[in-house]
Amino acid sequence: MRPTIQVRALQPLYLKKQHGFTLIELTIVIVLLSVLALGLSSYIGLGATMYSDATEREQVLNQSRFVAERLQRELRNAAPNSIRTNNAALLRCIEFAPILASGVYLQAPVAPDAGNELRLAMLSWQGTYLGSPFTIYPRELADIYGNSGSTILLAGTEQDDGDGNSATRTVQLASSHSFPLDSPEQRFYLLAASPVSYCFNGVDGSIRRYSNYSYSAAQPLPPAGSADLMASDVQQVRFAVNDAVLTRNSVVNLLLQFGQSPASDMFFNYEVHIPNVP
């Protein structure tokens, strides 16, 4: 008797039902993704805005720091009693006479005497000094910018005194002159051919440096010389000069406010001591 082989169809142990996404589920996912994207974009936008504001603020600070530091350095090299200011509503300027060189005079015609010979003691004399403004004992603005006689053009000829170290020179002035007063320390100053002005324009919020113009009794507003842009985005500027007294040299107060709105809190407030004395 042969064995009977029965073949049975294999039955799956379980049946798996396959489901899709319902419309409600898709809607919920879309809403959640939209909320997440909105929050992420706001966060990124806020970060970008903060970075942009910080970068812009840093640029303004760097620019303002440059003009403030340069103005301080130039003021410290100003001739004594040559700094004057004008604080008009829309145009505020500070003007001064830069010093080229200084030294001690051994001989000079001082009132009541008159003459045309100067004997000067100074190192590193340069021939280009001839023709520069030369001043002895400037005590007020008129001694630099006016016709008080304290400042003249050093016109004439010069020669080394032959002392072996070229420390003293004799200058023969082109015409006779008499300086009003003798300096207590016998100091003299050679000034730049042009004064320098820093002016704030309240219309466009800029600070410009003016040079290459003539000395004049009245302070020019603005000067007619060449103008170099030193800073923009300036909201407020104030210049003040405190004249020298027996206990200290003259002091210049500088207040500079930078920014793109009057509410900006970027201020530079300096007190510059002028070391040069008559």
Tens digits of residue pLDDT in 222-278:
898 899 999 888 888 999 999 887 767 889 999 888 877 777 777 788 889 998 888
CB atoms within 10 A of CB 26: 11
Q: What does the pLDDT read at residue 180?
A: 95
Evaluate if residue 11 carries a pLDDT over 60.
Answer: no
Q: Residue 78 gets which letter from DSSP? A: B
Query: Mean of the pLDDT values across residues 85-92?
Result: 87
Evaluate if residue 66 carries a pLDDT over 80.
Answer: yes
Query: Mean of the pLDDT values across residues 124-140?
Result: 91
Evaluate if residue 120 carries a pLDDT over 70.
Answer: yes
Q: What does the pLDDT read at residue 19?
A: 60
Write out the H or E segment, with its range, that includes residue 207.
strand 206-211
Q: To the nearest whole percent, how much of the chain has pLDDT over 90?
A: 46
Query: Mean of the pLDDT values across residues 96-119?
Result: 94
Evaluate if residue 204 carries a pLDDT over 80.
Answer: yes
Q: What does the pLDDT read at residue 2?
A: 57
Tens digit of each residue's pLDDT (9 = 90 or more) over 171-203: 999 999 999 999 999 999 999 999 999 999 989
pTM of the prediction? 0.77
pLDDT band with cut points at 50, 70 and 90 for residue 159: confident
Tens digit of each residue's pLDDT (9 = 90 or more) over 15-62: 555 566 677 877 888 888 888 887 777 777 666 666 555 566 566 666
Q: What is the pairing mode between strands 251-258 and 234-242?
A: antiparallel
Q: What does the pLDDT read at residue 227?
A: 93
Q: What is the pairing mode between strands 133-135 and 151-153?
A: antiparallel
